[in-house]
Amino acid sequence: QVQLQESGPGLVKPSETLSLTCTVSGSLNSHYWSWIRQPPGKGLEWMGYVYESGSTQFNPSLKGRLSMSVDASRNQFSLHLTSVTAADTAVYYCASLVLIANYFDNWGQGTLVTVSS
Amino acid sequence: SSELTQDPAVSVALGQTVRITCQGDSLTKYYANWYQQKPGQAPRLVIFGKNNRPAGIPARFSGSRTDNTAALTITGARADDEADYYCNSRDSSGIQHWVFGGGTRLSVL
């Protein structure tokens, strides 16, 4: 069973960049690593994935603001979201995507990021 | 892009059977997957694919699909099943994009 753990600042100022890291217990190989967020009291939104090779795919609603990267030597992958606003306040989850069957089988515990000055 | 529609809230009497539905055009092409989320916790996969349960998920959880509607059925609901349930699938437009339903809050009475 793969375990995932998010880390990063809990507070980000408006217009700045939100950066989070997910540490994976186990290899990053052959997995699609996703970020999913959930605004307080609302539903889930898939943000994007990064593959072990570094290839990415993003939610069209976030294109232009979102980037992701992978560091296999550290068993980590990261998210960077630029020009944040209060609407980006959410619990951010990292998860592994089983692409062929379209489901997310392992999830981190989530980390709350608040965008506020 | 595709949308998945769920009823916001459903209730069930203890020990009875409840069906939580998810509707969307993408479900004619892809199976829905189902997640259980309790307050303060991450979502947990309970059903994936046609009707598969990850290890540790009780057999009272099952999945089905008819046309563009998928359903999660809980047979013999327990108090511990009270949670939010989300469906997800892939967008059917051809791009690699994954979507979630808005979630259904299940109350066990």
* Chain segment A75-93, per-residue pLDDT in tens: 999 999 999 999 999 999 9
For residue B95, pLDDT over 90 is answered with no
Does B95 lie at the interface with A, CB-CB under 8 angstroms? Answer: yes
Does B57 lie at the interface with A, CB-CB under 8 angstroms? Answer: no
pLDDT at A28: 78
DSSP A3-42: EEEEES-SEE-TTS-EEEEEEEES--TT-EEEEEEE-TTS
Q: What is the average pLDDT score of chain B?
A: 95
- For residue B85, which of B94, B69, B73, B97 has the smallest C-alpha distance? B73
Task: Calculate the CA B19 to chain-centre distance.
Answer: 9
Torsion from C-alpha of A114, A74, A31, A106, nearest 10 degrees: -50
pLDDT at B1: 52
| CB contact residues (below 8 A), chain B span 66-85, against chain A | none
Q: How far apart are CA B63 and CA B95, in angstroms?
A: 26
Q: For the segment A9-32, what is each residue's pLDDT rounded down to a tens digit?
A: 999 999 999 999 999 998 778 789
SS3 of chain B: the string is: CCCCEECCEEEECCCCCEEEEEECHHHHCCCCEEEEECCCCCCEEEEECCCECCCCCCCCEEEEEECCEEEEEECCCCHHHCEEEEEEEECCCCCCCEEECCCEEEEEC
Does A43 lie at the interface with B, CB-CB under 8 angstroms? Answer: yes
For residue B36, pLDDT over 80 is answered with yes
Partner-chain contact B48 A101, CB within 8 Å: yes
Does B93 lie at the interface with A, CB-CB under 8 angstroms? Answer: no
Residue to mutate among A46, A103, A105, A106, with most B CBs inside 10 A, is A103
What does the pLDDT average to over A34-44? 97
CA-derived radius of gyration, chain A: 13
Q: For the segment A41-51, what is each residue's pLDDT rounded down to a tens digit?
A: 999 999 999 99
